[in-house]
Amino acid sequence: MSAPTLILASQSPRRAELIGRLGLEFATIPADIDESYRNGENPDEHAERLAREKAAHVARSHPEALVIGSDTIVVLGQEVLGKPRDCAHAVEMLERLAGREHEVHTGIAIVQGERVESGMERVRVRFRPLDRGACEAYAATGEPLDKAGAYGIQGFGSAIVEGITGDYFAVMGLPVVRMLGLIERFGWRYRFGAWERV
């Protein structure tokens, strides 16, 4: 029995790394969609909608594949922190996050043809206190510049995250267990590097 064809609708090397760690074969096809907020849309709705739209965009050209879409948002209080515009903006974000707790909202979707299954992971992340010099030094590494909230938990950012409550991999950008649960709804169960029919 042949395994399902997996496509990751993302150019994120972190998401690709996580799928690769599972020992699965997959292709990567980035989805070019409008990521603007809609009026009245909350962070959970936004992240899950974008995950669905990314996967659906790629699935239109690959209707037989299981297409994975994901989107991650960082929320401090009521404010969404996107990707920083530049180093100075990254320093500003990091100073605001320092010594505080924030939330990471990651939407995940699997699309095959017209069928869509999706979900959401919400994680609480706490930063250790940081002075401006530490924020500037971290921003200077370049790591924060392509990441929501101006940090990556798996790199140099591991030195500033004091603790989390929830799915570590969702903070990296791909909630692995929830993803596999959604794929199981399509009839495929993950078995440590392989698939079996449910």
d(CA 22, CA 32): 26
User: DSSP secondary structure string, the chain?
Assistant: -PPPPEEE----HHHHHHHHHTT---EE-------PPPTT--HHHHHHHHHHHHHHHHHTT-TTSEEEEEEEEEEETTEEE---SSHHHHHHHHHHHTTSEEEEEEEEEEEETTEEEEEEEEEEEEEPP--HHHHHHHHHTSGGGGSGGG--TTTGGGGTEEEEES-HHHHHT--HHHHHHHHHTTTEEE-SSSEEE-
Among 44, 71, 131, 146, which one carries the catalytic annotation? 71
Catalytic, 86? Answer no
Residues involved in catalysis: 71
